[in-house]
Amino acid sequence: MGSRLNLQILLETLIGSNNVYFQPPPTFLMSYPCIVYSRVNIRPRFANNNPYKLTTAYSLTVIDANPDSNIPNEVAKLPMCSFDRPFVSDNLNHYVFNLSY
């Protein structure tokens, strides 16, 4: 679909800030609400036994102190995006999505 940098811009636009982090190190201090994402897979499409198209899959996590945040709903509206699971950690709400981009 597009490059990782295009995805970064899309997510920053969606969240309304630059609190979008690609594979941040464990010691990195993040500002909330935010989106953290990482590459999890590259899916090839084959023709004649050769890959002709590669689709990158990402895991996105929306992290917000507000349990009624609208950001997860906006992420869920992205094409080729599916909700995986919610969880709470350190009094922050996490919403995990799978996205092919």
Q: What is the pLDDT of residues 29-57, one digit of tens each?
A: 999 999 999 999 999 999 999 999 999 99
Task: Report the pLDDT value the prediction gives residue 12, as an integer from 0 to 100.
Answer: 97
pLDDT greater than 90 at residue 83: yes
pLDDT at 1: 53
- Confidence grade of residue 59 (pLDDT, cut at 50, 70, 90): very high
Locate the domains of the chain by residue range. Answer: 4-100
Q: Which two tokens stand for residue 3?
A: 């490059």
Average confidence score pLDDT of the chain: 95
pTM value is: 0.90
- Phi then psi for residue 72, to 5 deg, are -60, -35
**Fold (topology level) of 4-100:** STM4215-like (3.30.2000)
How far is residue 101's CA from residue 99's CA, in Å, rounded to a whole number?
Answer: 6
